[in-house]
Amino acid sequence: MTVCAYIALGSNLGDRAETLRQALKKLNDQPGIRILRVSSVYETEPFGNVEQEAFLNMAIAIETSLSPDELLHTALAVERELGRVRTIRWGPRTIDIDLLLYGQSRISEEHLVIPHPGISQRAFVLVPLRDVWEGGALPEYNHTIEHYLSLLVEDHKGVREWGTVNWEIESDRSES
């Protein structure tokens, strides 16, 4: 059985675009994950109260046969492979990979909450998610992405389209 899941990716250290490209390739090369849709890349101001460089953010829709826990562990392994070190909450990072939605699932555990908390209040998540979302209302939220963007106090126009990442070049994945 497969499910459609949505993932947010962000980077603000090093070659941000290259790190996003590598993360996409590594995720897609994992057994049980196939990228369906990729958003544009957006440059955004950092979230939280830590002085740091701007982020490149994006979202993807995937088809997966992995359980939510397996998908989380896979995302964390890709973060580690790409040099993610967790020191300061909301601090600078080579890559941040967040599981936003997993089908219609609702999960509330210490290590995993789905839908990801804060989706409806964060333009840097909503704007890229809008690019890949194929549904009406967001699960659990009961409103569209456009509705939540219209409610934000922060100016979502501060989420600036940056470009795209061509992650499919030099893919190791072979068709079977």
User: Catalytic residue numbers?
Assistant: 84, 93, 96, 98
Question: Angle CA(72)–CA(74)–CA(79) in degrees, nearest 5?
Answer: 95
- Tokens 């659990």 label which residue? 140
Rounded Cα gap, residues 59 and 10, in angstroms: 9
Rounded Cα gap, residues 26 and 47, in angstroms: 26
Rounded Cα gap, residues 69 and 90, in angstroms: 22
Distances (CA, A) of 164 to 57, 65, 112, 135, 158: 11, 27, 29, 23, 18
